[in-house]
């Protein structure tokens, strides 16, 4: 079953693989979440733990996930349950059940993330048509976005428009996924990623050449890069930086392993893994940090931009940027064009991540239930559409926040902690180190061996403990909910996630029984 | 922009750009492994 599938599906070119992996990693987080996190956590001070996290958490986890994926793929597994099973030499029956996280979490994130990506497609079109042009202040723009997000409020774009972009995005995704690894996902990356970098570069030049208004572009950059050293001893800043590393590199998710499972046994993972991480960092630090925040500072001043950044990623990326593009000097058409570049850039960044998020579930269905790629892609797209409708209809009750926190935030760290224990301690760091160097084009620096065995797990478990104590328990008990009216909907949202985990575990049991290995 | 912020930004951006550039150029130059 699985072995045949891996013989049938492979990456066409190495650069295509790197771009697809970079497409997986480069997402909305690079252009929206990173500048907000930097601004909220001491600017330049945030960058110090950020780079330390990159070296001690991001790069080692990236290599481990590539290694686990290729190793699993060589044993006929394209999804995490089978990979965890072979990492323990099939001796620990629980490992494959924990692997359910590597199938359900990316599926959950895929569903709500793709809904958000569909907003970017919608705003790309609204930018070209000038639909929101004329809403020149933040409050008007915020109302416009809220109306778009609430399908029962047709005051801005109308119910069917939101639904239409949602359906269009999912159908496009389903089409790409059904075309397979080299024919769909790799081609999307080969076309989409150069466009993304081109658009980001054009926007970067436009932002840096803006005239001084409320402030200058340099003051915007200073806002991100100037350190407030009093914050360096603040644990919250370190946790925020480590958390950003997870989101930005897409580690702890399950999608990297699935992409790497399509490699041949002698394909390099050391250089390509590092390339993915480095390309993502370029997109984040150089491009992501130089567009939204500096533009917001120019228009709203440092204090105004700070207030907007505190409001979150959508307040900055959609509301504030929507106002910024309307106020650009020159004819309105240039503002519309710049707005289109921004939102379509976000759409490409999001869609290349969405295909990666859907891939683990598709691989799981293919390898365990002998489905063709087309049928598996169709099943995942249909499930995504059905569960995505839950978010479309109930978005205003914050059901998406629940999925984002448990699957897209806390779950990543839980999964990564389990994975590194399996790789460095149960599979064994010596075997793991040898595995990473099979066919390697570079030698991984020797100090990373103790880092993978001791430092990264310690870092992860500290992060996990801190988050559990300060965030997860209060969140679980709904102590942080500001609107009590959303509580019942939030519980339904959690129930749906739990149901997916249970179904996933039952499917794993069924699959292993079919093979006579349960 | 303070001199420290400017220096920190330039060093950080140059470092990640050079790392990404080095990795990608090495990938382009390295021939793929032959099949078994």
Residue in chain A nearest B20 by alpha carbon: A278
Whether residue A235 has pLDDT greater than 90: no
Reported ipTM: the value is: 0.94
The tokens for A72 are 């699993």
Question: Does B14 touch chain A if contact means CB atoms closer than 8 Å?
Answer: no
Helices A429-436, A59-74: crossing angle, 10 deg rounding: 80
Question: Does A48 touch chain B if contact means CB atoms closer than 8 Å?
Answer: no
A413-463 residue pLDDT tens: 999 999 999 999 999 999 999 999 999 999 999 999 999 999 999 999 998
The tokens for A14 are 């190495």
Whether residue A508 has pLDDT greater than 80: yes
| Cβ separation A47–B16 shorter than 8 A | no
pLDDT score at A5:
58
| Cβ separation B1–A221 shorter than 8 A | yes
pLDDT score at A153:
83
Least confident segment among A3-17, A75-89, A137-151: A3-17
| Cβ separation A271–B16 shorter than 8 A | no
Question: Does B1 touch chain A if contact means CB atoms closer than 8 Å?
Answer: yes
pLDDT score at A517:
76
CA of B14 vs chain A CAs: smallest distance (Å): 9
Whether residue B36 has pLDDT greater than 50: no
For A223-232, what is the mean pLDDT?
85
How far is CA A408 from each of CA A152, A188, A414, A494, rounded to the nearest angstrom? 27, 24, 11, 13
Distance in angstroms (rounded) separating the CA atoms of residues A282 and A29: 13
The tokens for B3 are 């001199």
| Cβ separation A222–B5 shorter than 8 A | yes
For A211-215, what is the mean pLDDT?
95
What are the residues facing A43 on neighbouring strands? A227
Given pLDDT bands bounded at 50, 70 and 90, which one contains residue A9?
confident
Question: Does A279 touch chain B if contact means CB atoms closer than 8 Å?
Answer: yes
pLDDT score at A3:
47
Residue in chain A nearest B7 by alpha carbon: A225
Given pLDDT bands bounded at 50, 70 and 90, which one contains residue A2?
very low
A23-62 residue pLDDT tens: 999 999 999 889 888 888 877 889 999 999 999 999 999 9
CA of A306 vs chain B CAs: smallest distance (Å): 17
């Amino acid at each position: 079953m699985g072995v045949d599938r891996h013989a049938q599906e492979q990456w066409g070119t190495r650069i295509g693989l790197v771009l697809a992996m970079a497409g997986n990693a480069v997402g909305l987080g690079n252009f929206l979440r990173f500048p907000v996190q930097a601004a909220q956590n001491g600017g330049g001070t945030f960058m110090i733990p950020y780079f330390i996290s990159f070296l001690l958490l991001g790069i080692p986890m990236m290599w481990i996930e590539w290694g686990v994926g290729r190793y699993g793929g060589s044993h006929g597994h394209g999804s995490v349950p089978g990979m965890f099973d072979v990492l323990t030499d099939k001796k620990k029956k629980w490992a494959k059940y924990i692997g359910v996280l590597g199938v359900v979490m990316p599926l959950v994130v895929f569903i709500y993330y793709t809904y958000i990506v569909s907003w970017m497609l919608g705003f790309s079109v609204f930018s070209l048509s000038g639909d929101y042009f004329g809403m020149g202040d933040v409050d008007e723009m915020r109302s416009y976005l809220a109306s778009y997000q609430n399908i029962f409020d047709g005051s801005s774009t109308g119910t069917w428009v939101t639904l239409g972009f949602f359906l269009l995005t999912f159908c496009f995704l389903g089409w790409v996924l059904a075309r397979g690894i080299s024919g769909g996902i790799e081609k999307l990356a080969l076309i989409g990623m150069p466009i993304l970098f081109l658009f980001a570069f054009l926007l970067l030049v436009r932002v840096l050449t803006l005239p001084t208004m409320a402030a200058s572009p340099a003051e915007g950059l200073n806002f991100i890069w100037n350190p407030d050293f009093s914050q360096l001893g603040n644990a919250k800043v370190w946790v925020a930086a480590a958390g950003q590393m997870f989101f930005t590199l897409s580690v702890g998710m399950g999608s990297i392993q699935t992409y790497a499972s399509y490699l041949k046994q002698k394909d390099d993972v050391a250089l390509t893994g590092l390339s993915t991480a480095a390309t993502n960092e370029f997109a984040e630090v150089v491009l992501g940090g130089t567009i939204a925040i500096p533009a917001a500072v120019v228009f709203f001043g440092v204090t105004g931009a700070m207030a907007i950044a505190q409001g979150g990623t959508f307040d900055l990326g959609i509301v504030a940027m929507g106002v910024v593009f309307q106020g650009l000097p020159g004819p309105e058409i240039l503002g519309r064009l710049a707005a289109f570049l921004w939102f379509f850039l976000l759409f490409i960044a999001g869609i290349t991540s969405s295909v990666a998020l859907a891939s683990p579930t598709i691989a799981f269905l293919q390898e365990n239930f002998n489905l063709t790629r087309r049928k598996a892609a169709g099943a995942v797209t249909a499930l995504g559409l059905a569960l995505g409708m839950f978010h479309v209809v109930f978005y205003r009750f914050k059901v998406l926040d629940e999925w984002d926190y448990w699957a897209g935030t806390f779950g990543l760290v839980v999964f990564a902690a389990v994975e590194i224990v399996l790789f460095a301690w149960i599979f064994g760091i010596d075997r793991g180190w040898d595995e990473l160097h099979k066919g390697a084009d570079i030698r991984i620096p020797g100090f990373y061996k103790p880092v993978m065995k001791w430092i990264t797990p310690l870092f992860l478990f500290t992060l996990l403990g801190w988050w559990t104590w300060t965030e997860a328990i209060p969140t679980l008990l709904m102590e942080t909910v500001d609107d009590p009216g959303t509580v019942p909907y939030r519980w339904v949202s959690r129930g749906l996630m739990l149901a997916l985990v249970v179904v996933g575990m039952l499917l794993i049991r069924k699959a292993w029984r079919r093979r006579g290995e349960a | 922009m303070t001199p420290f912020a400017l220096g920190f930004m330039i060093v950080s951006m140059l470092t990640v750009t050079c790392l990404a550039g080095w990795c990608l150029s090495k990938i382009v130059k390295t021939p793929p492994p032959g099949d078994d």
